[in-house]
Amino acid sequence: MTEWRVRDYSQDDLEAVIRVDAESSTAEEPPLFPLSDAVAALQALHPAVVATADEGVVGAAVSRVEGDRAWILRICMAPAWRQRGLGSDLITALEHRLFASGVRAVHAVLPKGETGAAALYNCGFGARSGMVVFEKRGPVTPQEIGMLSSLGAELPHGGLWQKVAGMHREKQLIERRLVLPLAHPELAAQHGVELPRAVMLFGPPGTGKSTFAHAIAGRLGWPFLELFPARLAAEYGLASGLSRRFDEIAQLDHVLVFIDEVEEVAGERSGADATAVGVVNELLKAIVRFRTQDGRLLVCATNNVTTLDPAFLRHGRFDYVLPLGPPDHSARTALWKSYLTRAGARADSAALSSASEGFTPADIAHVARTVSQAQFERTFDTGTQALATTDDYLATIRDTQPTVSGAMAQEFADQTEKFARI
């Protein structure tokens, strides 16, 4: 006589099924469908069966129906009941219910060596060779969505990194120092690499510090959260607002936190009033707490690194202090090529690069936008397609004051020599 009885799942079985599932796995790889998917299917009353013995539930098979197809999400058995034919009974009972409901094909994907694989073979399921399961998980859990929304976080587009034209040297440095270890933490750990927790970006205005911060988050697939000191000060008082916000951030699994113009909250304390000193102290304490958790990166940006409190840049707080200056000739050429391609313009990118020495990416974007607008208006007024020429861009370049003066460029070079940590 059979030692167990297979019956339909009932809502009272949920806790027992979860317990059996926790004991069941025999594979090193996690299942394709997480337990949350199986629980959701059970709560939605998709076909499922359980096996009971004297001591209660000893096995279960859970499915999810999608049109005329079904997926077996779980085949789980208590360890003492394996290799006794229980798995075959569970699968047979489940497939009878599925086929009777109109399902035409039943699929199952199991890690190699997982509980239930032999039972599937015994029940006539065929394994398809030459198949690879591709998977990409979202950067946040459903539980985090509400918190991210309340904090004003966003999920940057993954292709933003590729859209950052030029600045190849800076991109390679950030890719190697920050993105690679954070994206491959296990490999980094094998080589004794400590994961970066905080980085300071400094350079003249318009050199792309904010853009790089967004691009890093997009490259990692992490939420991007910018802290606005003025907003925190208005809501809670700046020191308590920083403490509160970092406590909230600690509840997230992954996040890139960005503070622009960080000198507003981390200026030199010498000669500052008590309130300003308290703000710097609170931010320093928050960074220490922030660094204790994996899956997060603090990116701060400043136009002038000399305005920061010396304690702020000490080793142990920021892993890297990276300079982002005006693009060089090759980087400007790449920027111009991207804008010329977008505008369909026939212009000499190398000539434009030479003429725009000292221009930041923001300056070049301004010139490109100005010329495109002029050509659009000319086409609209004349009814004839107007394409911008090299002379059109050169004329606009001559009328544009570069953001970075010679004195600013020299000051940036001096700061790079003194403060850069790469």
> Cα-flanking dihedrals φ and ψ of residue 75, to 5°?
-130, 105
Encoded tokens for 95: 């497939």
Reply yes or no on whether the pLDDT at 162 is more than 80.
no
Q: How many Å separate Cα 314 from the centre of its chain?
A: 27
Q: How many Å separate Cα 35 from the centre of its chain?
A: 23
Q: What are 305-309's contacts with CB under 8 Å, separation 24+?
A: 305/200, 305/202, 305/415, 305/419, 306/415, 306/419, 307/263, 307/267, 307/268, 308/262, 308/263, 308/266, 308/267, 308/268, 309/266, 309/267, 309/268, 309/269, 309/280
Reply yes or no on whether the pLDDT at 2 is more than 80.
no
Instruction: Tell me how far apart the alpha carbons of residues 24 and 297 are, in angstroms, rounded to a whole number.
Output: 37
Instruction: Tell me how far apart the alpha carbons of residues 58 and 147 are, in angstroms, rounded to a whole number.
Output: 38
Which pLDDT value is given to residue 136?
A: 64
Cβ-contact 229, 318 below 8 angstroms: no
- What tens digit of pLDDT does each residue of 172-185 get? 899 999 999 998 99
Encoded tokens for 398: 């001559």
Domains of the chain: 5-122 (3.40.630.30), 142-153+192-323 (3.40.50.300), 329-403 (1.10.8.60)
- Sequence-separated (6 or more) residues with CB below 8 Å from residue 44: none
Instruction: Tell me how far apart the alpha carbons of residues 336 and 21 are, in angstroms, rounded to a whole number.
Output: 58
- What tens digit of pLDDT does each residue of 267-326 get? 887 777 777 888 888 888 999 999 998 899 999 999 999 999 888 888 889 999 999 988
Instruction: Tell me how far apart the alpha carbons of residues 24 and 94 are, in angstroms, rounded to a whole number.
Output: 18
Which pLDDT value is given to residue 380?
A: 92
Which pLDDT value is given to residue 406?
A: 86
Instruction: Tell me how far apart the alpha carbons of residues 255 and 295 are, in angstroms, rounded to a whole number.
Output: 7
Write out the DSSP string of 116-139.
Answer: THHHHHHTTPPPPTT--------S
Give the pLDDT band of residue 349 (cuts 50, 70, 90): very high
Instruction: Tell me how far apart the alpha carbons of residues 371 and 150 are, in angstroms, rounded to a whole number.
Output: 40
Q: How many Å separate Cα 299 from the centre of its chain?
A: 14
Q: How many Å separate Cα 37 from the centre of its chain?
A: 23
Give the number of other Cβ atoms within 10 Å of residue 302's Cβ.
24
Reply yes or no on whether the pLDDT at 259 is more than 70.
yes
Instruction: Tell me how far apart the alpha carbons of residues 18 and 34 are, in angstroms, rounded to a whole number.
Output: 12
Instruction: Tell me how far apart the alpha carbons of residues 94 and 287 are, in angstroms, rounded to a whole number.
Output: 53
Instruction: Tell me how far apart the alpha carbons of residues 201 and 388 are, in angstroms, rounded to a whole number.
Output: 35
Give the pLDDT band of residue 167 (cuts 50, 70, 90): confident
Q: How many Å separate Cα 308 from the centre of its chain?
A: 29
Reply yes or no on whether the pLDDT at 141 is more than 70.
no
Rounded to whole angstroms, what are the CA distances from 168 to 16, 162, 171, 333?
56, 11, 5, 11
Residues 333-345 have a mean pLDDT of 91
- What tens digit of pLDDT does each residue of 12-46 get? 999 999 999 999 988 888 888 989 899 999 999 99
Reply yes or no on whether the pLDDT at 63 is more than 80.
yes
